[in-house]
């Protein structure tokens, strides 16, 4: 606290990211990074962009990246917005599109940055309970008479549960709320879900947000994008251009373009993670864990006989870091990022030892 702070700062509750420990030899399964590296072509493009041209500002519109994304997803460039990680894209969307007189609706168990942005931008919100099986119920997001949202946001697959909503249910929500923006945060969709990007031509109220941090293994580059009707994108551009003209630097634009163009590497590296995830789910189930069905690059699991916090602490003693949330209804769960086959084997061995198997 300081008397020099703006008044609003006193009331903020900032987001707490998963830790990035400085120790070597950790099995780091806590922040849903991709276990295999980015496209070698992306690395090469970043190296090539490391030149004297860095004395010049980057393209404020990142047109090359929008063109590459437009081609990959069958869109027009004016249906795309890019930002410094999807967190920045989300932040601009909260300001530009989700702030209305009526409350913003989102699940009570979800990406914990959403309430933080609500706090930052003063957005009234309603948190809707997940079903008993930890799924998001589409029915809960349909307007009932005058009880309708100002806007809706949820991740699909949801985080930290990993559960996927069928694309038909996503479209039902979008269609039923034609007067409100529905933002689908598809940070993890490439690991097993159908993207709602294919729906945006039919629904001018749908915004879909993606990140390069997970399926494209470029968390360190900080690139995310939104796809939607050109008028939604225009609102995002207005906010972005009132905040930072150059959110993507030259290296990020070059690396992201090359990543989008390397479809083979993208497909193959996602396929490997999905195969490892499915094997890990089987192994943990055999150890007695209850594992929620996951369409993401992480799993959410609890053991009926062992406390979640205690298991996380035991793993940490063995230099294995997973994520544990001290929150109602999920404090018995561990969120475990799918690592390499070797990392997952180390994890399973450690859990066997901890459980005395
Ligand atoms: N959405 C969800 C659901 C996430 O889990 C994350 C990662 N913490 C993000 C968005 C943000 O990812 P990034 O800013 O790295 O693009």
**Number of helical H runs and strand E runs in the chain:** 11, 12
Residue 2 forms part of a structural domain: no
Q: Are 191 and 215 in contact (CB under 8 A)?
A: yes
Determine if ligand 1 sits within 6 Å of the CB of residue 269.
no
Looking at the structure, tell me whether residues 288 and 320 fall in a common domain: yes
349, part of any domain = yes
186 lines ligand 1 (CB under 6 A): no
Pocket test for ligand 1, best of 30, 106, 111 (most atoms within 8 A of CB): 111
Per the prediction, the chain carries an average pLDDT of 97
Please tell me whether residues 25 and 50 are part of one structural domain.
no
Is the minimum distance from the CB of 111 to ligand 1 under 6 angstroms?
yes
For ligand 1, whether the C-beta of 187 sits within 6 Å is yes
Q: What percent of the chain has pLDDT over 90?
A: 97
Is 224's C-beta closer than 6 angstroms to any atom of ligand 1?
yes
Does any domain span residue 254?
Answer: yes
Contacts of 6 (CB under 8 A, 6+ apart): none
CB 66 within 8 A of CB 83: no
Residue 127 pairs in a beta bridge with 106
The reply to whether 249 falls in a domain is yes
Of 203, 228, 262, which marks where a domain is finished?
A: 262
Considering the domain architecture, whether residues 198 and 296 belong to the same structural domain is answered as: no
Helical segments of the chain, H only: 7-10, 40-49, 63-73, 85-97, 113-121, 167-176, 230-240, 250-261, 263-286, 308-317, 341-355
Task: Tell me what pLDDT residue 138 has.
Answer: 98
CATH number of the domain where residue 146 is located:
3.40.640.10
Domain that holds residue 292: 7-37+264-355
pLDDT at 224: 98
Which structure tokens are listed for 52?
A: 């004297």
pLDDT at 1 over 80: no
Residues 200 and 282 in one domain: no
Check the CA dihedral 271-273-279-281 and report its sign: negative
Identify whether 1 is part of a domain: no
What is the mean pLDDT of the segment spanning 32-57?
97
Q: Which of 82, 113, 218 to mutate to test the pocket of ligand 1 (most atoms within 8 A of CB)?
A: 113
Domain boundary among 244, 262, 280: 262
Per the CB < 8 A criterion, the answer to whether 276 and 269 are in contact is no
Note whether 280 and 318 are same-domain residues.
yes
Q: What is the mean pLDDT of residues 43-65?
A: 98
- Closest to 68 (Cα-Cα) out of 272, 207, 248: 248
Same domain, 291 and 143: no
Give the chain's domain count: 2
Q: From CA 233, how far away is CA 93, in angstroms rounded?
A: 9
Spacing, Cα 208 to ligand 1 middle (Å): 13
Ligand 1 site, residue 161, Cβ cutoff 6 A:
no
Closest-lying ligand 1 atom to the alpha carbon of residue 160: 5
Using pLDDT thresholds of 50, 70 and 90, give the confidence band for residue 20.
confident
Determine the Cα angle at 183 with ends 197 and 233, to 5°.
70
Tell me: do 129 and 233 sit in the same domain.
Answer: yes
Mutate to test the pocket of ligand 1, among 84, 93, 159, 160 (most ligand atoms within 8 A of CB): 159
Q: Which atom of ligand 1 is nearest to the CA of 159?
A: 3
Atom number of ligand 1 nearest to Cα 90: 10
Last residue in a domain, options 196, 228, 262? 262
Residue 15, domain CATH: 3.90.1150.10
Residue 277 φ/ψ, nearest 5 degrees: -60, -45
Residue 213 domain-assigned (yes or no): yes
| Partners of 152 in beta bridges | 105, 182
Say if residue 247 is in the same domain as residue 300: no
Mean pLDDT of 60-77: 98
Residues 276 and 323 grouped into a single domain? yes
For residue 230, being part of any structural domain is answered with yes
What does the alpha-carbon distance between residue 346 and residue 350 come to, in Å, rounded to a whole number?
A: 6
Please indicate, yes or no, if residue 123 is contained in any of the structural domains.
yes
Average pLDDT over residues 79-86: 98
pLDDT in the model for residue 17 = 87
- Cα angle for residues 35, 328, 8 (degrees, 5° grid): 85
Q: Are residues 44 and 175 in the same domain?
A: yes
Mean pLDDT calculated for residue range 74-89:
98
Q: Are residues 23 and 56 in the same domain?
A: no
Confidence tier at 18 by pLDDT (50, 70, 90)? confident
- Cα(114) to centroid(ligand 1), Å: 11
DSSP state, residue 189? G
Q: What are residue 337's DSSP bridge partners?
A: 298
The encoded tokens of residue 339 equal 């690592």
End-to-end Cα distance, the chain: 50
Same domain, 151 and 283: no
User: What is the predicted pLDDT for the residue at 351?
Assistant: 98
């Amino acid at each position: 606290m300081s008397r020099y702070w703006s008044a609003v700062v006193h009331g903020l509750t900032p987001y707490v990211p998963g830790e990035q420990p400085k120790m070597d030899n950790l099995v780091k399964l806590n922040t849903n990074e991709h276990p295999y590296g980015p496209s070698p072509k992306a690395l090469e493009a970043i190296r090539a962009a490391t030149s004297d041209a860095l004395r010049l500002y980057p393209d404020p519109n990142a047109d090359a990246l929008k063109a590459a994304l437009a081609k990959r997803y069958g869109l027009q460039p004016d249906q795309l917005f890019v930002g410094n990680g999807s967190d920045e894209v989300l932040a601009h969307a909260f300001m530009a599109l989700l702030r209305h007189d009526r409350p913003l609706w989102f699940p009570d168990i979800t990406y914990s940055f959403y309430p933080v942005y609500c706090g930052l931008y003063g957005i009234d919100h309603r948190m809707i309970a997940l079903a008993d099986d930890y799924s998001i119920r589409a029915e809960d997001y349909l307007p009932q008479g005058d009880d309708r949202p100002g806007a809706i946001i949820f991740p699909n697959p949801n985080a930290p549960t990993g559960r996927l909503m069928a694309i038909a249910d996503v479209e039902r929500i979008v269609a039923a709320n034609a007067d409100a923006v529905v933002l689908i945060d598809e940070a993890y969709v490439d690991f097993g879900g159908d993207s709602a990007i294919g729906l945006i031509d039919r629904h001018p109220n749908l915004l879909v947000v993606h990140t390069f941090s997970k399926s494209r293994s470029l968390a360190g580059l900080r690139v995310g994008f939104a796809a939607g009707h050109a008028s939604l994108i225009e609102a995002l551009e207005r906010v972005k251009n009132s905040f930072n003209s150059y959110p993507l630097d030259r290296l990020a634009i070059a690396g992201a373009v090359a990543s989008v163009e390397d479809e083979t590497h993208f497909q193959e590296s996602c396929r490997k993670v999905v195969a490892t995830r499915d094997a890990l789910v089987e192994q943990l189930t055999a150890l007695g864990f209850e594992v929620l069905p996951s369409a993401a690059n992480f799993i959410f699991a609890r053991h009926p006989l062992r406390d979640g916090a205690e298991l996380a602490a035991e793993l940490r003693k063995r230099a294995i870091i997973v994520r544990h949330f001290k929150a109602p209804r999920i404090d018995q769960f561990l969120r475990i990022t799918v690592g390499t086959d070797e990392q997952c084997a180390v994890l399973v061995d450690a859990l066997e030892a901890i459980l005395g198997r």
